[in-house]
Structure 1
Amino acid sequence: MSDGRAGMENQALGLAEAVQRLTPADITVKRVRWRRIFDKLPSALKTDWMLDPSSDPAAPGPGEAWPDLWIATGRATLPLSLRVRERSGRQTLVVQTQDPRWRTAAFDLVVAPAHDRTEGANVLPITGSPHRVTRAALSGGAAAFEAALSALPRPRVATLIGGRSMAFDLPEGHAADLADRIAASIADAGGSLMLTFSRRTPEAAKQVMTARLAGLPGMIWDGTGPNPYFAFLHFADHVLVTEDSANMAAEAASTGAPVHILPMIPLKPAGKFARLHADLRERGAARLFDGTLTPWTYEPLNETDRAARVVLERLGRA
């Protein structure tokens, strides 16, 4: 259950798929949104009739049972998650990912990023957030790009560029400087580039980076056609990721490829992002980008599966 945005849905779905890998399970994806006039109301005041008509029904249909497990992500799902235990007669285990920032004890389990410092007896802190990156998923996603990427000169460098957020910015000048540093490192190593932007990447930054990196061997995804994100991670010998995205950094650290953190322009103290990057450095997964592509090894993160095992313990199926 999520609001349907990819970053949100992938957290809930990633944890559900991890549970499914450990025990037979059927997964149903549901998306919910609130009518605009009610969207900003506190979660405690929201009721079902305030939902937008486009929302999937949260309750089971006639003749259907409540699920054994409810996994939800994001603010939009909180009012529904809070009532599931009561409505199901406590037959449903309610798991919320991310920090709900409100009444953590009302859920059976909260799987929260350790860098958020969420506290509570039912809180499971993990490095990063649950996600869908597995060896099998990456291999499957790579199939459509095998011809285009497998023959690229090595080291193959996946470069994941974020954008403006409350904490960071990527103005044109800084984007140009990053592009020049990336180009120099790949050229010095005789490698190739696999570049993708996020929805938050400013257009000016996207244009200047594309122009300055287009001469390298490789692929720059322009947002059209199939998304090569999983393929890029599958074929990567190194991953460069901007410091604004906790999700991309944790996903990159699940591959076993060296993760290089690209600096952005801070708009406020880095806080939770600094804590995440410190965690990844302590695990040996990530380092600040120093302009070189020196390889190293580490044990890939497997936090989503760890969370799934805890969920199964709570279900009594471990």
Structure 2
Amino acid sequence: MQGVILTEGYAGLEAQALGLAERAGLVVAGTRALRPTLPWGRLPPRFWPAPLAMVGGADGDGLRDLPDGLLLTAGGTGAAVGAVLRRQGRRVVQIQNPRMRLDRFDLVVANRHDEIDGPNVLLGRTALHRVTPAVLAEARAAWTERLAHLPRPLVAVLVGGSNGRFRMGPPEAEALAAGLAGMMRTDRVGLALTPSRRTGAEQRAILERALQPLGGWVWDLAGANPYLGLLACADAIVVTSDSVSMVSEAAATSVPVLVAHLPGRSRRIGLFLRDLVDAGRIRSFNGRFESWNAAPLDDTDAVAAEMCRRLGLPVTCEAGRPAPSH
């Protein structure tokens, strides 16, 4: 069956939708970035009077040529548009809490920490993503030699940045750099670090100054993105606490995951991290290398399999435990 993805155009949302489609065996027939016209972008999408017109031109003309297939919508804008298209007869699976009535969709795929409930809700502990064992094996083959100059055990560091809930300015970058440098000196580990688009040039420079003289490798944003290679080749992973997606992708590997907590507050992310701590999958980073027997934790397959069962589609993905609902 075909799947059509409608998101706000953010890479993270599209990756979640692609991850669900791929695990469910859907052929992605198209993706659309829903860009609201002014002034509607300043108003939460659930309050838009005519969502199709807000993103598709007059009367929603820009969405009339959508390919046939299951619609996978993600984020608030996707939800507003998807709810209208379902009233017009399309089958719609909404990814993330739509912040509107849940019965406007065939299924809603969200996380436990979203704290929503309903007969058409599928919940997972981790964010949907594309980091499968096959993807990791391919990345390992591509990056093992490139990282061979670094000492073992090798610690991969995934760094996010400030957002609406957490702060990572220069002082926070200094504190993280000090903890990582201390680990390198005390535990004699190799280190490879990749910043994100949110990390900031000043923060990246702070990390480089602290870690490169000790033999650490910090990606300079030039050339091939090492993110998957670091996940695949690491003996342990340190990841900042600001991103559910990064922590979820790290947890899909088979190595210990240590979370570097940033100043800030988020009930949702706090619940998410507590769930993974309770599962024994993550621990807090306290400036030391830690190793324990770790198994991948990834609910994407289970959610995709349950979605297929609910919608009467062939279950082509590897079925894990049943995805919990209400």
> Quick one: which amino acid aligns to residue 277 of structure 1?
L
Displacement, 1:307? Answer: 0.9
Q: Is 1:279 matched with 2:278?
A: no
Q: Decide whether the 8 Å contact of 1:261 with 1:287 is kept in 2.
A: yes
Corresponding position of 2:319 = none
Instruction: Give the TM-score normalised by the residue count of structure 2.
Output: 0.86
2:21–2:28 CA contact under 8 A, matched in 1: no
Match for residue 285 of structure 2? 289
CA contact (8 A) 1:163 1:200 kept: yes
Runs of 4+ in 1 over 4 A off after TM superposition: none
Secondary structure of 2:182 counterpart: helix
Which residue identity lines up with residue 152 of structure 2 in the other structure?
A: R
Helix, strand or coil at the partner of 1:158:
strand
Closer, same or farther: CA 205–120 of 1 in aligned 2, 3 Å: same
Question: Which residue does 2:164 correspond to in 1?
Answer: 166
2:32 match: secondary structure = coil
Task: Please list the CA deviations of residues 127-156 of structure 1 after superposition, one character each: whole Å capped at 9, or x if unmatched.
Answer: 121011112112333444332114532111
Aligned residue number for residue 226 of structure 1:
224
Shift of 1:243: 1.0
The structure 2 residue matched to 1:48, chosen from 33, 49, 52, is 52
Which of 17, 23, 30 lines up with 1:12 in the alignment? 17
By how many angstroms is 1:170 displaced?
Answer: 1.4
CA contact (8 A) 2:56 2:62 kept: no
- Listed one character per residue, the Cα deviations across residues 6-28 of structure 1 (whole Å, up to 9, x for unaligned) are 111111111111111xxx63443
Task: Assess if the C-alpha contact under 8 Å between 2:157 and 2:237 holds in 1.
Answer: yes
Aligned length: 305
Deviation per residue, 1:222-260 (Å, 9 max, x gap): 112221110110001111011111111111101121110
Q: Which residue is equivalent to 1:111? A: 109
Distance 2:260 2:266 in 1: 13
1:33 equivalenced with 2:31 (yes/no)? no
- Over 3 Å counting, the alpha-carbon distance change for 1:198 and 1:52 in structure 2 is farther
Distance 2:36 2:252 in 1: 34
Does structure 2 retain, via aligned residues, the 8 Å contact 1:150–1:235? no
Inter-partner Cα distance in structure 2 for 1:129 and 1:27: 23
Amino acid at match of 2:191: L
C-alpha displacement at 1:3, in angstroms? 1.9
* TM-score (ref. length: structure 1): 0.88
Contact 2:8–2:33 (CA<8 Å) still a contact in 1?
yes
1:100-139 alignment runs, 5 A limit: 100-139=98-137
Contact 1:129 1:247 in 2 (8 A): yes
Q: One-letter code of the match for 1:129?
A: A
Bigger shift: residues 195-204 or 154-163 = 195-204
Whole-angstrom distance in 1 between the partners of 2:13 and 2:229: 21
C-alpha distance 16-56 of structure 1, shift in aligned 2 (>3 A): farther
Superposed counterparts of 1:43-192, under 5 Å: 43=46, 44-51=48-55, 57-60=62-65, 66-67=68-69, 69-87=70-88, 89=89, 92-192=90-190
Q: Deviation digits for residues 253-312 of structure 1, max 9, x if unmatched? A: 01121110102122xx33112111111111111001122212112331121111100111
SS of the residue 1:119 aligns to: coil
- 8 Å contact kept, 2:76–2:99: no
Q: What's 2:312 paired with?
A: 316
Unaligned runs of 5+ in 2: 1-5, 316-326
8 Å CA contact retained: 1:149, 1:218:
no
**Amino acid aligned to 1:83:** V
Secondary structure of 2:164's counterpart equals coil
Matched-pair contact (CA < 8 Å) for 1:38–1:46: no
CA offsets 1:98-130 (integer angstroms, 9 cap, x no match)? 111111111111111111212222111211210
Q: Distance in 1 between matches of 2:134 and 2:285?
A: 28
Aligned partners of 2:262 and 2:298: how far apart in 1? 27
